[in-house]
Structure 1
Amino acid sequence: MPETPLLTPARPRTAIITIAVGAVLGLLVTAGISAAAPAVAASLGRAAVSDSEQLGVGMAEADAAVTTARAALTDAATVVVDASSAEVDLGAESIAVDTADLLSTLGSLAEGDADAILQRPALTAGLTEQTALMTAQATALRERLNAAIAQQQAEAAAAAAAVAALTAANTPDGARNVARQIAADQYGWGDDQFSCLNSLWNKESGWDYQAYNSGGGATGIPQSLPGNKMASFGDDWATNGTTQIRWGLDYIQRAYGAPCSAWGHSQSVNWY
């Protein structure tokens, strides 16, 4: 089966089809469905049609169908152009909208000859059905495009939030806030234990995720020795204060049970 013309996303082909649509619509505007009826009546004679008034039967319905079809074509062209220019992933499914039948019917209605006038009711019904089908395709494409844009925006917002969280955790005050929250949520440690933790890590690193002891190699906020031990909580251990905090709290829980015990040990022997 030969391919039907499509309103495709490629700009050159879209432009060609837009010109074709414009030519058909231009003919409708110039001649007009209604304007064609008297001239055709004169050529048909009364044996075929009683008078021009009979030719006007269904004229309003045809004009309304053409107006609706024109608007639908504009909407379809808009969504295809939007989809083709949007930098989003729309999947493998085509973004073409089939306009072939609708354009053909519009052309027939615009011809203004005897056959077109006599077939007006059937052509109008066909145009209405074709408009509905094309509109459904255009609507589905718009929904896909909107969903893809919403997903892209959500992913961008999540990435921005992650960057903001990383930036905050990589400051001393931000790191304290992160540690307080994790200590409470995951370990049930309240402000008394956080006070000990704050004293401990103030002493060890000043809550600086880039802290490094050149004499022994202890690294980061919790002064892990060696620093790569923290990789068990993330490959970004060297650059992410939150990863260091998660490792440090886990270490304290396993080795001392709670921050105040770790702080007491540090005060006694100068390490923990």
Structure 2
Amino acid sequence: MSVSVIRRVAAPKKALTGIALVAATAGMALSAAPAHAASTASPAQAKVIAKKMIPDAAQFTAFSKIVQHESGWDVDATNASSGAYGLVQALPGNKMAAAGSDWKTNAQTQIEWGLDYMKSRYGSPVGAWNFWQANGWY
């Protein structure tokens, strides 16, 4: 066998080995990237999430009324004067980080934080809604 034939056979093997190495490296880099929670794009989606998280009809209705008044179910709602943020208008908004690092964009994280807040401060979403009706805020 001539040297030129051996080089022609060896070169494609080197190329394939290089491509396999690049693909394996890229695959490892992609699999090592952290997973990000899905963000909620619409008020309708946020309501569906809340409904699943709050099975009691009275508690869901109270929670829904507060969120409707506070943010219109907009995950990104920001109060220009106070800086309150999100579905439940947390002040400051970064308080919601206690429920998850995706608090800026994830309705479930915001709802979880809001429910915990309402339960700890008012006993329940119904208690929070009663306070809201008397004071115009909660």
The alignment covers a number of residue pairs equal to 122
> Which of 72, 77, 94 is residue 211 of structure 1 equivalent to?
77
Counterpart of 1:87 in 2: which secondary structure?
helix
Q: Which amino acid is 2:41 matched to?
A: N
Counterpart of 1:266 in 2: which secondary structure?
helix
Structure 2: gaps of 5 or more residues: 1-9
Question: What value does the CA root-mean-square deviation take over the aligned residues?
Answer: 2.9
**Structure 1 length-normalised TM:** 0.39
Runs of 4+ with deviation above 4 angstroms: none
**Which of the pair is proportionally richer in helix?**
1
Bigger mean CA offset, 202-211 vs 212-221: 212-221
Residue 260 (structure 1) aligned with residue 126 (structure 2): yes
Task: State the percentage of identical aligned residues.
Answer: 38
Match of 1:175 in 2: 46
Return the index of the structure with the highest Cα Rg. 1
Match of 1:239 in 2: 105
State the Cα deviation string for residues 59-118 of structure 1 (Å, max 9, x = none): xxxxxxxxxxxxxxxxxxxxx87x9278246xxxxxxxxxxxxxxxxxxxxxxxxxxxxx
* Residues in 2 aligned to 1:215 and 1:199: alpha-carbon distance in whole angstroms: 22
Q: Which amino acid is 2:53 matched to?
A: I
State the Cα deviation string for residues 25-68 of structure 1 (Å, max 9, x = none): xxxxxxxxxxxxxxxxxxxxxxxxxxxxxxxxxxxxxxxxxxxx
Give the structure, 1 or 2, with the largest relative contact order (CA under 8 Å, sep 6 or more): 2
Counterpart of 2:23 in 1: which secondary structure?
coil
**Structure 2 length-normalised TM:** 0.73
Structure 1: gaps of 5 or more residues: 1-10, 16-79, 90-147, 185-189
Q: Which amino acid is 2:102 matched to?
A: D
* Residues in 1 aligned to 2:21 and 2:81: alpha-carbon distance in whole angstroms: 57
For residues 1-272 of structure 1, the aligned pairs below 5 Å read: 12=11, 14=13, 84=20, 87-88=23-24, 162-163=37-38, 166=39, 169-184=40-55, 190-272=56-138
